């Protein structure tokens, strides 16, 4: 299946992209975050990254579907 990923903050910097389309097998939101973090060496523990699907934050066991828009949100500290 295909999903669109949007990166925020430090993940955007480290990936060097705002968004991309990813081809992947069916998996949960947390598996997907771990997969991308590992694949692109994004340098954050997956447990710190929140995943939103189609504009709602989802739990770790949420299963992604074809065509979903996934947003990866890391902690942000600046003030």
Partner 1 sequence: MFQLSSTPIIPPLMECARAGGFVTFEGRVRDHAEGRAVERLTYEAYPEMAIAEGTRLLEEAKEKFGLLDSRVIHRVGTLEIGEVAVWIGVAAAHRREAFAACEWIIDQLKHRVPIWKHEIFSEGAGVWVGAESVPLEFGLLTQRQELLDEIGPEGQAKLRNARVLLVGVGGLGSASLPYLVGAGVGTLGLVDPDQVELTNLHRQVIYSANETGRLKVDRAAAAASRLNPSVRVETHALEVDGSNVDRLVSGYDVVIDGTDSLEVKFLLNAACRRHQKPLITASIHRFEGHLMTVLPDGPCLRCLFPTQPHDGCVGTCAQVGVLGVVPGLFGVLQALEAIKVITDFSDVLTEDMLLFDLKSLQSLKVKRSLRDGCEGCAGIHHPLNLQVSDPVGVVIDIRELDETPQLLISHIRLPLSRFAWQGWTEPVTFICASGQRSGNLAANLREQGHSQVYSLKGGVERLNSCF
Residues that bind partner 1 (CB under 8 A): 6, 8-10, 12-13, 18, 44-45, 47-48, 50, 52, 55-57, 59, 71, 73-79
3-state secondary structure of 43: coil
Looking at beta carbons only, is 11 or 25 nearer to partner 1?
11
Q: Smallest distance from the beta carbon of 60 to partner 1, in angstroms?
A: 9
Looking at beta carbons only, is 16 or 25 nearer to partner 1?
16
In angstroms, the first-to-last Cα distance of the chain is 38
Q: What sign results for the dihedral spanned by CA atoms 8, 68, 36, 62?
A: positive
């Amino acid at each position: 299946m295909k999903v669109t990923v949007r990166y925020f903050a430090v993940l955007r910097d480290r990936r060097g992209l705002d968004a991309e389309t990813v081809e992947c097998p069916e998996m949960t939101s947390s598996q997907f975050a771990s997969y991308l973090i590992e694949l692109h060496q994004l340098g954050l523990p997956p447990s710190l990254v929140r995943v939103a699907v189609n504009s709602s934050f989802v739990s770790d066991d949420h299963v992604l579907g074809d065509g979903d828009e996934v947003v990866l949100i890391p902690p942000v500290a600046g003030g």
